[in-house]
């Protein structure tokens, strides 16, 4: 597959403030995603091109499919179930009760149907970030929560190896993609190590997904690109640049999961700036990558 066959299309030029957590819902041929600070979950129908939304009462940072129907989402510091039909939410669990400034960030369901998601401290003042205030949590099918580890600054991308023996994870301000040994039966993770350190021009690692060849795709915030990595060799295999700077996350979807969807943001941009890309905050579709993705796992609780 030659690089020239790659096509990038802005399928939703909506200027979302901070769109994140894209997940493909095969049953409805739709891309589901969030806009964190707009406090909304969106569902874009790829056939009708219609977008529907549900508003929340706090920043909603990730969304995932639920086996029994509807979705699960991280809203503020709560794991919630979301009924799309009547737009209602039910709180399943709450974390970081002692940290009033914290909220959830990225999350994803593991191959056993558990919902992993991490927290971070919101900036209290311009450029003042609460370092190491977050943690990674796991919501089990019975709705009990376990803390995997703490000392996280900005909990971000996560996914699993194809053989379900390795968990990949990004704490953005470590500028690293890390790996852990992962036990599918228990959900336990251990033996943390770095598999890739981002180069300066790649900027900040954000959301991440795995392809059907076991390689990782990482959206680079402020880097305007997604990069494909080989976690076994630690080498970057490919860079796909997008017409926006703040690329936030990525997932595979579409027919046979051969399309990649990339979310982006326009937050923190000077509204009067001439450098503002017109498609900042849009949702992009990349075709012609020559590799397919893995269907998302649903939460089984």
What Å distances lie between residue 94 and 15, 27, 38, 40, 55, CA to CA?
Answer: 31, 29, 21, 19, 19
Q: Which of 91, 153, 89 is nearest to 119 (CA)?
A: 153
Rounded Cα distance, 78 and 84, in Å: 18
Q: In what order do the strands lie in the sheet with 235-241?
A: 204-210, 216-221, 225-230, 235-241
Candidates 206, 211, 230, 268; catalytic one? 206
Segment holding 64, helix H or strand E: strand 60-65
From the list 173, 81, 73, the residue with the least C-alpha distance to 121 is 173
Told to judge if 211 belongs to the known catalytic residues of this protein, a careful annotator would answer: no
The C-alpha angle with vertex 8 and arms to 6 and 9, in degrees rounded to 5, equals 145
DSSP H or E segment with residue 189: strand 189-197
Residue 234 CA: distances (Å) to CA of 124, 147, 193, 220 = 35, 28, 11, 17
The rounded Cα 301 to chain-centroid distance in angstroms is 20
Q: Which residues are catalytic, by number? A: 206
């Amino acid at each position: 597959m030659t690089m020239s066959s790659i096509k990038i299309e802005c399928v939703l030029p909506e200027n979302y403030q901070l769109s994140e957590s894209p997940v493909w819902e095969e049953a409805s041929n739709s891309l589901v995603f969030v806009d964190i600070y707009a406090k909304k979950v969106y569902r874009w129908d790829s056939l009708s091109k219609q977008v529907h939304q549900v508003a929340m009462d706090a920043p909603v940072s990730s969304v995932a499919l639920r086996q029994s129907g509807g979705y699960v989402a991280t809203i503020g510091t709560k794991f919630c179930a979301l009924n799309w039909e009547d737009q209602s939410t039910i709180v399943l669990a709450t974390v970081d009760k002692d940290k009033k400034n914290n909220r959830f960030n990225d999350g994803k369901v593991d191959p056993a149907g558990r919902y992993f998601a991490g927290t971070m401290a919101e900036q209290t003042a311009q450029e003042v970030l609460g370092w190491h205030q977050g943690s990674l949590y796991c919501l089990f099918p019975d709705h009990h929560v376990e803390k995997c580890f703490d000392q996280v600054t900005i909990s971000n991308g996560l996914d699993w190896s194809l053989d379900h023996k390795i968990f990949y994870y990004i704490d953005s301000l470590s500028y690293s993609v890390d790996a852990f040994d992962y036990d599918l039966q228990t959900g336990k993770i251990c033996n943390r190590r770095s598999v890739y350190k981002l180069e300066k021009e790649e900027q900040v690692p954000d959301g991440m997904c795995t392809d059907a060849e076991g390689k990782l795709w990482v959206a680079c915030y402020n880097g305007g690109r997604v990069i494909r990595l080989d976690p076994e060799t630690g080498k970057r295999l490919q860079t796909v640049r997008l017409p926006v700077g703040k690329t936030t996350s990525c997932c595979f979807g579409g027919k046979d999961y051969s399309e990649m969807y990339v979310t982006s943001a326009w937050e923190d941009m000077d509204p009067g700036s001439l450098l503002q890309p017109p498609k900042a905050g849009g949702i992009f579709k990349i075709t012609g990558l020559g590799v397919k993705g893995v269907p998302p796992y649903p939460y089984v609780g």
